Amino acid sequence: MMLTMNKEKKSIKTICAQADHPPKDPYGSHAMPIYQTSTFGFKDVEQGRRFFAQEEGGATHSYSRLGNPTVQQAEKTIAALESVDLDLETEGMLFGSGRAAITTGMMALAAGKRILAQEALYGCTSQFLQEEAGRYNIKVTNVDPNDLSAVEAALEKYDDIALVYLENIANPTMRVCDIEAISDMAHDAGAWLMVDNTFATPYHMRPLNWGADLVAHSTTKYLNGHGTVVGGALVASKKFIGETAMHTYRKNFGGISGPFDAWLTMMGLKTFPLRMRQHNENGQKVADYLNSHPKIRRIWYTGLENHPDKKIIDRLMINGYGGMIAFELEGGLQAGIEMLNRLKLATLAVSLGTVDTLIQHPASMTHSVVKPEIRMEAGITDGLVRLSVGIESADDIIADLEQALG
Ligand SMILES: Cc1ncc(COP(=O)(O)O)c(C=O)c1O
């Protein structure tokens, strides 16, 4: 199901380069100021009353847990990126972390109901669904979204599914599923579709184009890109945000971003398309190198012909394939550990999407909170290594991998 496309919108290059242009500033500031304030003064009681009653003539802001001009500027850009092709009025909401964004979305959409969730997910999202959601009266059923008949069967079996939750590209398995088909199935069954777009980013994939209702991000990653912020975002149509009372959930759970983090995110967004072009170029070079290396047993990269979801990738992804790679070594876990310990240029660290190369071992790090049997079922083997290729010289990144692989 393709939504109405809009060819009139500005390109993402323009949206990003001007991400910090304030709508109006009393001093004519060219860059968006950081409104580092908790509260905003009202002119008189009537103006304050009108704000809280959401009537015309109210103040624009009241208290930074509800909204803040600097935060809103970053939200506007992220919403524009996710809907750049569409004739759809969207709204972005910024959070203090990706996890805060995701949990707020899930609580708003599925409290008292069931979530049909992908098996392979970021570790803490997985832990929340498997171990904690039940305590908040949310039931969870796992499904492999690359098995469309299993998705359909689950939607038929349970009549209380309010939300289908996916990561596309999935962390760390790099699998890509057909969100267009799944959004149709979810909607036919009366459920919403929420997609975590952290790995692909709107540079490479735009879930709203394919029928997703709500897009989530860890802005900690590519959107900020500098590794200076922990943040998150939700993007949906203005109508969806309004009808699901998403602002009320954010206000009352209290997960909004602080103004300085929003400003740092905005600084990163200014160069987002340029950075992504380089991540993509380097990602392809490094993946090609690893793919032909005799010590690599298996590699998952969305830009390789041998990716299991190649056909879906060709349909859903644009502008290349990004910088995320997963691989296993011939020598398994022990060989992986030895290689990681020998790296000099790449930093051994969790997180991803920063301008510099990061590498980590999901089973002992990001996904260690996931029960081993769920990890295995989701394809997160003990020998899997996850590489976030940075924008350094691709030759230097490859030389480092070469010496570490030995
Ligand atoms: C795909 C994905 N979603 C969500 C998160 C959580 O984001 P944050 O660490 O900003 O809370 C992560 C973190 O690594 C992630 O990789």
Q: What's the gap in Å between 124 CA and the centre of ligand 1?
A: 8
Instruction: Tell me the CATH class for 272-405.
Output: alpha beta
Atom index in ligand 1 nearest the CA of residue 121 equals: 1
- Residue 47 vs residues 56, 256, 378: alpha-carbon distances, Å: 9, 24, 54
DSSP tag of 33: P
Q: How is the chain split into domains, by residue range?
A: 12-269, 272-405
pLDDT at 3 over 90: no
- Other beta carbons less than 10 A from residue 5's beta carbon: 12
Q: What is d(CA 88, CA 260) in angstroms, rounded to the nearest whole number?
A: 29
User: Token pair of 30, please?
Assistant: 């060219």
Q: What's the gap in Å between 41 CA and the centre of ligand 1?
A: 35
pLDDT at 50 over 70: yes
Specify the length of the chain in residues.
406
The secondary element (H helix, E strand) that includes residue 202 is: helix 201-204
pLDDT digits (tens, 9 = 90+) for 52-102: 999 999 999 999 999 999 999 999 999 999 999 999 999 999 999 999 999
Atom index in ligand 1 nearest the CA of residue 124 equals: 6
Q: What is d(CA 373, CA 248) in angstroms, rounded to the nearest whole number?
A: 37
User: Token pair of 273, please?
Assistant: 């398309």
Q: Is CATH 3.40.50.720 correct for 12-269?
A: no
The label of the residue with tokens 């009653």 reads: 53
Q: What is d(CA 370, CA 131) in angstroms, rounded to the nearest whole number?
A: 9
DSSP string covering 242-258? HHTTHHHHHHHHT-BPP
Q: What is d(CA 33, CA 304) in angstroms, rounded to the nearest whole number?
A: 43
pLDDT at 207 over 90: yes
Task: Cite the beta strand spans of 119-157 per DSSP E.
Answer: 139-143
Q: CB of 19 within 8 A of CB of 80?
A: no
User: What residues are labeled active site?
Assistant: 65, 122, 196, 221
| Mutate which of 221, 367, 369 for ligand 1 pocket (most atoms within 8 A of beta carbon) | 221
pLDDT digits (tens, 9 = 90+) for 285-343: 999 999 999 999 999 999 999 999 999 999 999 999 999 999 999 988 899 999 999 99
Same topology, domains 12-269 and 272-405? Answer is: no
Q: What's the gap in Å between 23 CA and the centre of ligand 1?
A: 30
Question: Which pLDDT belongs to residue 375?
Answer: 87
